Amino acid sequence: MIENKNIDTRITHCIKEKNVAVFDLDGTLVKGDLGETLFFTLLMLRAKKLSISEIDKLPEMLIQEDFVSSISETREMKLLELYAQLLKNKQFNLAYDITNLYIENFGKSKIIEASLAVLRAFSSKAYILEFDNLSVTFFVKQNEMILSYILRLLQEDEVITYIVSASPQIVIDSFCQIFKLENVKRIGVSFNEPIIPYGKEKVKILNKNKIYKWELAFGNSSGDLQMLLESEFAVLCNPKEKSLIKIAEEQNWEVI
């Protein structure tokens, strides 16, 4: 793991001053997308009438030529098509609501079990499922570097550390339990919170929780832009968007 002295210095300062740090989940604390990969996996399990304990069978099944045709008439495939179309049309709030509604029905213990399983099954390579000019990607892997940063911050009880993500609340809670991040404050998509934490809404929901400034912010996409812009020190992780990389250069952010 490569050290970054600028980030290390800022974390040390944040701990010393007992300041606030905020993290995105998908694409930041994990490479890939835990919420989406979990959603896709649970859909495919039900379509194929498999249990969570059989998740390890899915990677091999996804590369079979007849996989899509074998589930094309199922309710799960129709839901997956709707979700992919919403993302394509940039209707993110509706897409995230669908994810949350579907995943929450499983309950926390099953989501923890499924999260552990997808972190094993889909961490070595990305599996892409293509259908009707749409596609979804199965891939998620913990980001050891960013996890090490949040764990350092949690060593000091008075440092306020948040994960703010458009993943379902139950997924964030499961992630925190798996990686022993119990003291992290978490904001995700839930029935109790009408605001979807994406884009400018991430800042609004932090303000709603009486957090008006933060020293550190870690994010990876345009959905984190406002949260990064309002941070004293911003870290852009694994960026894919050229426009975001340009903003990072102009704002003198750390890019890792």
Q: What is the pLDDT of residue 1?
A: 53
The pLDDT of residue 194: 84
Q: Residue 160: what pLDDT?
A: 94
Cα–Cα distance, 94 to 236 (Å, whole number): 26
- Going from the C-alpha of 51 to that of each of 4, 41, 122, 227, the distances in angstroms are 42, 11, 17, 38
For residue 2, what pLDDT is reported?
61
CATH number listed for the domain at residues 5-29+143-255: 3.40.50.1000
Q: Please give the pLDDT value at position 192.
A: 79
The residue ranges of the chain whose pLDDT is under 70 are 1-2
The pair of three-digit structure tokens given for residue 30, joined into one six-digit string: 């994990």
The identity of residue 33, as a single letter, is D
The Cα 125–Cα 111 span in angstroms is: 22
pLDDT at 58: 96
Alpha-carbon Rg of the chain, whole angstroms? 18
CB 186 within 8 A of CB 162: yes
pLDDT at 146: 96
- Rounded distance, CA 163 to CA 95, Å? 20
User: Could you tell me the residue ranges of all domains in the chain?
Assistant: 5-29+143-255, 34-140
Structure confidence at residue 93 (pLDDT): 87
Q: How far is 53 from 117, CA to CA, in rounded Å?
A: 8
Q: How far apart are CA 131 and CA 171, in angstroms?
A: 26
The dihedral built from the CA positions of residue 35, 121, 41 and 105, taken in this order, carries a sign that is negative
Give pLDDT, residue 65. Answer: 83
The residues with which 31 forms a beta bridge, in sequence order, are: 141
Amino acid present at 36:
E
